[in-house]
């Protein structure tokens, strides 16, 4: 049977901007994915724990607070500690191009999607980069 | 990793092995069955079902009840089912939003499940997921149903204790207790007791239960109140669940329930295996013939089964 793509959509940190996260969650659902939405104010620990319990293939992080350079690397570090390096991690929100470059190159975030990104581009990216053959 | 190794690992408390095993049973097939088979002998948990209309506070109540069990030192597993979209097959599973207070506790394991087209409030693999969580050493496993209201009677055949959640303000509309809900409840909880109209709702429920006559199996479902957001009333609900568990153990009622559960599990397994064996070229041909009304489904079924 075809394996469903499971995605955790989470908002790390303290900002209350949740429109983008909700838009993404619904778009991924409409693309046939199963989205676990954990809501606002997630610590990196909570995010990684939820991803582990839910056995997700993808983590989507939405952050508009400006704290992405501390919170996103922390999430990546905890994932490595748990041996969860096969999980695809994408981010979105207000993240400058320079920061996005560093997050991708140095921390292993697969892609960053800023304001105005088309949801179809996000869906396509996930579909072509997700690893569904995890052991 | 072999199915046995996966089960050994989850029994050793490896949460990632448990999470993987649940994904496997969600997918179904021979590997899924092997995992369930390996875990089955160790799955000794009390299964608590929570059902009730959307927004009644089920997820919030699950959280407060789990916190109460944790205070008593009991590890708790949770399976929360939400509906899949009939159009895309996808789903947004949002129950975890209410369960944040349980984060960071190794004595709690939460898994969200999409119903994947199954009606009746549970997913096909819910019972198997509960088996795995139980085998991982969680003596209490709470199951939150989809909560579509009607027809959610599957839970009574999957859980040992079924809690039906209602909210105040049903007014005169006795119909708002959906048919069937009265019969499946082992415990009623009127949640949102911080709102007006609680006493009236409690009275109505008690009256309806009395009108229903003496319970067939000798257990009279208590009607309790709660404020799930503060945890008020949750100690009493946990006490009631424990009493119900005692009742099941002492009264022989457990034996008949276990039999009913076993029968349902067997029927589901038979159906799954038969379908898997029969699907194939002839199956596809018959589907086409039925669709074009050249053959009726019963004739097609007996051809498949009897040759
Ligand atoms: C609407 C809005 C609000 C609303 C939020 C309502 C809500 N519930 O979401 C309100 C009025 C509450 C608000 C408040 C504040 N806001 Co405001 N807000 C905005 C605004 C105008 C639009 C954000 C939005 O909803 N966009 C629509 C959604 C759909 O777009 P999006 O979130 O960007 O998502 C897209 C992509 O980023 C991406 N994406 C997003 N998440 C994800 C996740 C994944 C996994 C993926 C793949 C992609 C992805 O895909 C989406 C679709 O293209 C932005 C400015 C802007 N133009 O972005 C400021 C902005 C985000 N806010 C800002 C600020 C400063 C604030 C306040 C602190 C203001 C204040 N001083 O009080 C408060 C903080 C509130 C809080 N508790 O955090 C700043 C942030 C600055 C920064 N980070 O450096 C911004 C950038 C404005 C600015 N130019 O200064 N805000
Ligand atoms: N006033 C009040 N609100 C509650 C109570 N329990 C839950 N809620 C709120 O009811 C809403 C729905 O709760 P949720 O647990 O998601 O309901 P579910 O759909 O049945 O799982 C949320 O906004 C909760 O905060 C309660 O006891 N009192
Ligand atoms: Mg819920």
Substitution target in A38, A43, A44 with the highest count of B β-carbons within 10 Å is: A38
pLDDT at residue A135 in the model: 44
Torsion of CA A37, A41, A45, A46, to 10 degrees: -40
Cβ contact B93:A36 at 8 Å: yes
| B108 φ/ψ angles, rounded to the nearest 5 degrees | -130, 135
Cβ contact A13:A91 at 8 Å: no
CA distances from A57 to A132, B244, B296 (A): 7, 39, 42
B228-248 average pLDDT score: 96
CA distances from A56 to A83, B122, B175, B181, B207 (A): 13, 20, 40, 34, 46
pLDDT at residue B149 in the model: 60
Q: Which residue of B has its CA nearest to A83?
A: B16
CA distances from A12 to A76, B94, B115, B219, B221 (A): 12, 16, 28, 47, 43
Is residue B57 in contact with ligand 2, taking CB distance under 6 Å? yes
Q: Which residue of B has its CA nearest to A28?
A: B90
- Buried/exposed code over A44-75 (b: 16+ C-beta within 10 A; e: otherwise): bebbbbbbbbbbbbbbbbbbbeeebeebbbbb
Testing ligand 1's pocket by substitution, the residue of A15, A20, A104 carrying the most ligand atoms inside 8 A of its CB is: A20
Residue B127 CB contacts under 8 Å (≥ 6 apart), including other chains: B158, B265, B268
Identity of the residue in A52, A53, A135 whose CB atom sits nearest the CB atom of B1: A135
**In this structure, how many other beta carbons lie within 10 angstroms of the beta carbon of residue B70?**
16
Tell how strand A6-10 and strand A34-37 pair up: parallel
Cα(B103) to centroid(ligand 1), Å: 26
User: Nearest CA to B178 among B186, B195, B166, B169?
Assistant: B166
Structure ipTM: 0.94
Cβ contact A88:A130 at 8 Å: yes
Cβ contact B49:B61 at 8 Å: no
**Position B172 pLDDT exceeds 60:** no
Is residue A23 in contact with ligand 1, taking CB distance under 6 Å? yes
Is residue B254 in contact with ligand 2, taking CB distance under 6 Å? no
Q: What pTM did the predictor assign?
A: 0.92
Q: Which residue of A has its CA nearest to B104?
A: A46
User: Domain extents for chain A?
Assistant: 6-129
B151: left (phi over 0), alpha (psi -120 to 50) or beta: left
What the block records as the tokens of B24 is 């496997």
Distance, CA of B144 to CA of B78 (rounded, Å): 8
Distance, CA of B189 to CA of A125 (rounded, Å): 45
pLDDT band of residue B151 (cuts 50, 70, 90) is low
- CATH fold for the domain made of B43-251: Rossmann fold (3.40.50)
User: Domain extents for chain B?
Assistant: 1-42, 43-251, 269-306
**Position A17 pLDDT exceeds 60:** yes
What angle separates helix B15-27 from helix B3-11, to the nearest 10 degrees?
A: 140
pLDDT greater at residue B237 or residue B277: B237
How would CATH label the architecture of A6-129?
Answer: 3-Layer(aba) Sandwich (3.40)
Query: What percent of chain B stands above pLDDT 70?
Result: 93
- pLDDT (tens digit per residue) in A29-84: 999 999 999 989 899 999 999 999 999 999 999 999 999 999 999 999 999 999 99
The two most distant CA atoms of chain B are separated, in Å, by: 64
pLDDT band of residue B173 (cuts 50, 70, 90) is low
**Position B230 pLDDT exceeds 60:** yes
Cβ contact B108:B172 at 8 Å: no
Q: Where are the beta strands (DSSP E) in chain B?
A: 46-51, 76-82, 91-93, 108-114, 140-144, 161-166, 187-190, 223-225
A90-109 average pLDDT score: 97
Query: What percent of chain B stands above pLDDT 90?
Result: 64
Residue B190 CB contacts under 8 Å (≥ 6 apart), including other chains: B166, B167, B168, B198, B201, B202, B205, B223, B224, B225, B226
Query: How many residues make up chain A in this entry?
Result: 135
Which of A7-16, B138-147, B162-171, B182-191 is predicted least confidently?
A: B162-171
B103-108 average pLDDT score: 94
């Amino acid at each position: 049977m075809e394996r469903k793509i499971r995605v955790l959509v989470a908002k790390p940190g303290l900002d209350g901007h949740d429109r983008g996260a909700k838009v993404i969650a619904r778009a991924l659902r409409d693309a046939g994915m199963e989205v676990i939405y954990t809501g606002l104010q997630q610590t990196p620990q909570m995010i990684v724990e939820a991803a582990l319990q839910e056995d997700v293939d993808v983590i989507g992080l939405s952050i508009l607070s400006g704290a992405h350079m501390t919170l996103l690397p922390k999430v990546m570090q905890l994932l490595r500690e748990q041996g969860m390096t096969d999980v695809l991690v994408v981010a979105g929100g207000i993240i400058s191009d320079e920061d996005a470059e560093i997050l991708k190159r140095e921390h292993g975030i697969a892609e960053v999607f800023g304001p105005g990104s088309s949801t179809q581009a996000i869906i396509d990216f996930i579909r072509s980069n997700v690893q569904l053959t995890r052991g | 990793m072999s199915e046995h190794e996966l089960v050994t690992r989850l029994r050793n408390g490896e949460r990632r092995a448990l999470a993987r095993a649940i994904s496997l049973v969600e997918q179904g097939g021979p590997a899924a069955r092997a995992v369930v088979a390996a875990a089955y002998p160790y799955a000794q948990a009390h299964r608590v079902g929570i059902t009730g209309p959307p927004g009644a506070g089920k997820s919030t109540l699950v959280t407060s009840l789990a916190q109460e069990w944790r205070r008593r030192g009991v590890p708790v597993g949770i399976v929360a089912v939400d509906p899949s979209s009939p159009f895309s097959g996808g789903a947004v599973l949002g129950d975890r939003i209410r369960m944040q207070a349980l984060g960071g506790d190794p004595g709690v394991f939460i898994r969200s499940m999409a119903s994947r087209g199954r009606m009746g409030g549970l997913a096909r693999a819910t019972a198997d997921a509960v088996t795995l969580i139980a085998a991982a050493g969680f003596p209490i496993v709470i199951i939150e149903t989809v909560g579509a209201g009607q027809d959610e009677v599957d839970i009574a055949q999957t859980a040992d204790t079924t809690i039906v959640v209602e909210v105040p303000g049903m007014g005169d509309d006795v119909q708002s207790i959906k048919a069937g809900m009265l019969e499946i409840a082992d415990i009623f909880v009127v949640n949102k007791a911080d709102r007006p109209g609680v006493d009236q709702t409690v009275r109505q429920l008690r009256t309806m239960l009395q009108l229903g006559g003496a319970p067939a199996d000798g257990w009279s479902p208590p009607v309790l109140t709660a404020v799930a957001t503060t945890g008020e009333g949750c100690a009493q609900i946990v006490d009631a669940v424990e009493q119900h568990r005692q009742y099941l153990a002492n009264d022989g009622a457990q034996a008949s329930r276990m039999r009913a559960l076993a029968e349902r599990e067997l029927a589901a397994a038979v159906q799954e295996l038969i379908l898997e064996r029969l699907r194939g070229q002839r199956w596809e041909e018959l589907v086409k013939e039925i669709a074009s009304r050249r053959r009726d489904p019963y004739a097609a079924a007996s051809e498949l089964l009897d040759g």
